[in-house]
Amino acid sequence: MAAREEKPFLKRLSKIARLSEADMAALEGMPLVLRTFAADQDVVVEGERPHNCFAILEGLMCCYKLTGNGGRQIPAFYVAGDIPDLHSLHLKVIDTSLRTVSPCTLAFVEHETLHALCQKSYAIASALWRVTLIDGSIFREWETNIGRREAAARMAHVMCEAYLRLQAVGLVEGLSFLFPITQQQLGDALGISTVHVNRTLQSLRREGLLRFESGRVEILDWPAMKVRGDFDPGYLHQDLSDWVPSR
């Protein structure tokens, strides 16, 4: 059984919810099935009816939707500590496909187990609810980003977000982090062509804001990046001061 520090979802949950030691112990004791996936593998496909959820222990994932003529949109990325299909606990037919971007280690937990934990602890139920609400908040922010910001701002915004989400689970080194994604996948996430992604990265680099090389991102100027990306981290709800559940 993996120790607490090897389960980034415990770290994530403790950052977005106030959980008692008993709650943390219950979450830590959940029976998990660990599976590894190579890069570019579907883990769950739209239309399936999963009987379990998974948390990312290691690696980068995305969800994606396909249009009728084969166009692909990536509405979100998921990093270690995230539970990308948590909504399948209540919405039985999964409405998006979930795919590995890099090689991943995933921890699967049965829906039954989660339902039992939620029934025992209101705080755990609230924490899990909060995970899906924050996922929804991120989707709303991305829709705004893609619909209303120009390409360089979109890119800067997504990189600022990736940095803060990885920082929350201790996966950054200074202002640098692993983000092993292709330019095509970035284009599918930002709604721009691959060549435009390339140009945008080059221009952010010329502006002294960001370097992206062989799967590693280095933010060169954090305050300037936030301005460039029109980035306000409020939508990530990483601040616990508004946490209320105590029943």
Partner 1 sequence: MQKYFFDVYRDHELIPDEVGSEFADLPTAAREAVLVLGELTREELATATSLELAILVRDQSGRQLLNAKVRFDMEFNSLK
Which residues make up the interface to partner 1 (CB under 8 A)? 150-151, 183, 192-196, 198-199, 201-202
Smaller CB separation from partner 1, 198 or 238: 198
Q: Which residue has the tokens 């284009």?
A: 187
Smaller CB separation from partner 1, 106 or 152: 152
Smaller CB separation from partner 1, 18 or 199: 199
CA 243 – CA 16 distance, rounded (Å)? 8
> Closest separation between CB of residue 78 and partner 1, Å?
26
Smaller CB separation from partner 1, 2 or 195: 195
CA 104 – CA 106 distance, rounded (Å)? 6
Side chain identity at residue 116, one-letter code: A
> Closest separation between CB of residue 184 and partner 1, Å?
9
> Closest separation between CB of residue 190 and partner 1, Å?
10
CA 31 – CA 212 distance, rounded (Å)? 38
Side chain identity at residue 72, one-letter code: R
Give the residue among 180, 216, 170, 174 at the shortest CA–CA distance from 6.
Answer: 170
> Closest separation between CB of residue 230 and partner 1, Å?
14
